[in-house]
Amino acid sequence: MAQSHTRFWKTGAFSLAHFVNDTYPNLYPILLPELMPILHFGTAAAGFVNTVSSFTTQLLQPVMGLWADRAGGRMFVVGGLVVGAVFAALAWGLAPSYGLLLLLLLVSGLGNAAFHPHASSLVGEIGGRRKGMGMGLFMIGGNLGRAFAPVLAAAAYLIGGRQGLLAVALPGLLMAAIISWAMSPAPSPRPRQGAMLTPEFVRGLRQAGGLLALVGLRSVTTLTVTTLVPIWWKTTGRPITDAAAFVSLLFVAGSIGNFTGGTLSDYIGAKPVLIGSALLSSLWLSLFLLFQSPVAIVVLGALLGASLYSSGSVVMVFGQNLFPENKAMASGLTLGLGNTLGALGVSLTGLVAQHFSPQTGLWTVAVAMLFSIPFVLGLQEKPRETASHSG
């Protein structure tokens, strides 16, 4: 019982840190339409913001994860929160040009890249046999952070203008102090013993290719929706609060989908969850584009968020199972590199939107989600462990 209690509160602490951390790379959907006329850039450049930011936010996660596995300590989680918060606030609140906005977001992304793999690795260890459920709780924190980001961005901007956005750094600084205390004692280093390129590691890399394609397609869909829907709605005269409410709804529903998908995978396996996620995401997005009544927006937005994120904790656990000796690196590889592929894709959908319309860009990813299914079918699952109900 004591062990279960410790696992619960530690997972909760990391989930709260994930909540705060993930607000910072997700401020952009609400702020881009407002800054486009101020900093003089178009829809294609708005899509490119995601791509450039991902060079550090996502692409460096495998490297940071491997480093974190070896170094231990608190600096990746605590330092990541501080860097991500401060430089995101500077980017949105003070950057005088599009180029400097990108540069500051790159630095902020370093903090995000440091936080994610180490934190998710530690949560995977805490979860014991219920890794899917534990990772689902951790991912709920991230999704709720994404849901809170548009509310925080809109409130800070409406109350204080651009300079009011500097205040968004405060939650990250406070959370860094809290998680530093919660991580006592600090995680121990894990010096590498023997060769890294073992046959098991190489087999894991072969499986990871299909997993990366899957994550990339899911990521480009999510990023395209959160980038292009606010831009589309601004051209129709909708206020910033409408876009903020929609993006928040998407991520709140995503937190439910994350937990549900992770828990369900503990019992039926990863493949059914991943295939269902792809099919339903494509369906709900298509219906969302066809029906724009207030009721349809709420219902279909919630269903879309839940289905898109139902695969999040599943692919995280799957990736850690591929590299059991390098779990932080696996987390960084699975989501970091996979999400980088998605960010590259949103540059293309941004170009499509600029040359045709935001709706055309959204139709493109609705179809693209279906192409993830062959990659899922090629994955090889390990036998599932029997969940312990005693905690």
Residue that wins the pLDDT comparison between 302 and 4:
302
The pLDDT tens digits for 347-378 are 889 899 989 999 999 999 999 999 988 888 87
Residue 234 contacts residue 356 (beta carbons within 8 Å): no
Q: What does the block give as tokens for 91?
A: 């980017």
The average pLDDT across 201-220 equals 71
Residue whose tokens read 């231990």: 72
Residue 190 contacts residue 121 (beta carbons within 8 Å): no
- For residue 214, pLDDT over 50 is answered with yes
Structure confidence at residue 387 as a pLDDT band (50, 70, 90): very low
The average pLDDT across 146-151 equals 86
Residue 162: count of CB within 10 angstroms of its CB? 16
Residue 110 contacts residue 85 (beta carbons within 8 Å): no
Architecture of domain 8-185+197-377: Up-down Bundle (1.20)
DSSP 8-state assignment for residue 195: -
The pLDDT tens digits for 134-146 are 666 777 788 788 8
Q: What span, in angstroms and rounded, lies between the C-alpha atoms of 256 and 259?
A: 5
Domain locations in the chain?
A: 8-185+197-377
Q: What span, in angstroms and rounded, lies between the C-alpha atoms of 10 and 5?
A: 9
